[in-house]
Amino acid sequence: MSGEMIGLVGMLVLLALLVLRFPVALSMFAVGFVGIWVLRDLNSAMSLMASESFTLASSAELVVVPLFILMGNVASVTGMSASLYDAAYAIIGRLRGGLASATVLGCAGFAALSGSSVASALTMGKVSMAQMDRFNYDNRLSTGVVAAGGTLGILIPPSTGFVIYAILTQQSIGRLFLAGVLPGLLMLAMFIAAISIMCWIWPHFGPKGPKTTMGEKAQKLIGALPVLLVVILTIGGIYTGIFSPTEASAVGAGLVILIASLQGKLTFRRFWEAAKDSVVTTATVMLILIAAHMINPFLALTHIPALVGDFLAGLDVGPIAILALILLTYLVLGCFLEGFAMLVLTMPIYFPVIMQLGLDPIWFGVLVVLTLEMGLISPPVGVNVFIVKSVARDVPLARIFAGVTPFWFAMLATLILLVAFPQIVLILPDTMMQ
């Protein structure tokens, strides 16, 4: 059997395991290890597993993952993230659909703390959905806005998706963080526009909330200042060059722990809960990355990436048409596979093509991460939809998917704008990191 055929069989087995909901890391480990064993020998597979595991686990760049996750978890268990939502609600909750818009703003703020879409959806779902039910919001809007708003967590920096993309493609984490800012704000504006349009067409979707006085608005803003200060110092420190991303993650985690402790909100039990969740999440991410370094050499040995690259590069179409074809592949795969699994599976194949076409790798990274976000709310997998379902158990899945549909199209519009105008992505990294 040829190397190409072995590679094809390995990819089909891997896809089958992922569709059957086997753990992503273990599936890639098994296919990569057995594939290298078949193509080379057992010693090569054992040696690669040992060396890659140690090399990746000792990478200083990956320190950002546990520290940013810890920062978000501490903010969540101490209620600091809820203050962002309270401030947004006090300002715009009076408007029709304002509570839903406040939820999106709260998701954006929490995303800037945690970098996790799942954490954003889960936290904001617990905080906001009860309030929207209390004010008689249609459950399609209330669940849809939480599921969609959570996707901001993988685009607004710090983003775990950007860190993994950077590790897989040897790109700058700092440049990727900068590149995600304007697209994240653009998508935030698109979501709020979608809410406004829905509530204009169907007023019963989002009734007006109670009025708040200027004093109440000021009080809520003051309550959110500590969290906003952490976001400004960590992300602003990266943008201005004061901190590296690794240093910023340490500063952010330390500041959140310090502020929560001074406020008397961080008990030992809460810190233990946040630390335990952080360890579990970090271990999951690390296992996926280590498994990626098993599957990538296997793919290289089969020559599949080179064959696919030659095929795409040889198409009689322009670079943008090939880019559109690649993004369409991500959209289709996103209906069935988890986002990190798609990154690990496809980067060895698509990234060389992007470089061969002369397209900017930072721009491509943002487009890919945004497309992965769309998969988080696409049926049948829709991870964020199932997260929201776990909070709103009485709402049928069909209604949640109906609720996220307008936001999916808002994300598609954002993606089209970023493809048409790359400078939206590149202006910050190009001007602030020469």
As a whole number of angstroms, the distance between CA 69 and CA 270 comes to 15
As a whole number of angstroms, the distance between CA 234 and CA 271 comes to 21
- pLDDT value, residue 265: 87
pLDDT, tens only, 132-158: 887 788 889 988 998 888 788 778 877
- pLDDT value, residue 409: 94
Average pLDDT for the chain: 81
Percent of the chain with pLDDT over 70: 91
Per-residue pLDDT band for 195 (boundaries 50, 70, 90) equals very high
Mean pLDDT of 165-192: 89
Using an 8 Å Cβ cutoff, are 82 and 103 in contact?
no
- pLDDT value, residue 434: 58
In the chain, % helix, strand, coil (3-state, to 5) comes to: 80, 0, 20
As a whole number of angstroms, the distance between CA 163 and CA 235 comes to 14
* DSSP H stretches of helix in 115-213: 117-134, 139-150, 160-169, 173-179, 181-201
- pLDDT value, residue 338: 65
* DSSP H stretches of helix in 40-79: 42-57, 64-77
pTM for the full predicted model: 0.76
- Residue with the larger pLDDT of the pair 105 and 425: 425
Residues in CB range of 351: below 8 A, 6 or more apart: 168, 169, 361, 364
35 conformational bin, left if phi > 0, alpha if psi -120 to 50, beta if neither: alpha
Per-residue pLDDT band for 336 (boundaries 50, 70, 90) equals low
pLDDT, tens only, 362-403: 999 999 999 988 887 887 666 677 778 877 778 888 888 898
Closest listed residue to residue 156, CA positions, set 181, 176, 135: 181
Closest listed residue to residue 375, CA positions, set 418, 326, 330, 407: 330
- Residue with the larger pLDDT of the pair 115 and 352: 352
Mean pLDDT of 272-296: 79
Structure tokens at 114: 């945690």
Whether omega for the bond prior to residue 361 falls within 30 degrees of 0, making it cis, is no
Q: Considering only the C-alpha atoms of the chain, give the largest distance between any 2 of them, rounded to a whole number of Å.
A: 75
- pLDDT value, residue 114: 63
Asked which of 211-220, 287-296, 350-359 is least confident by mean pLDDT, the reply is: 287-296
409 conformational bin, left if phi > 0, alpha if psi -120 to 50, beta if neither: alpha
Mean pLDDT of 96-103: 83
Mean pLDDT of 306-327: 79
Residue with tokens 């939480």: 146
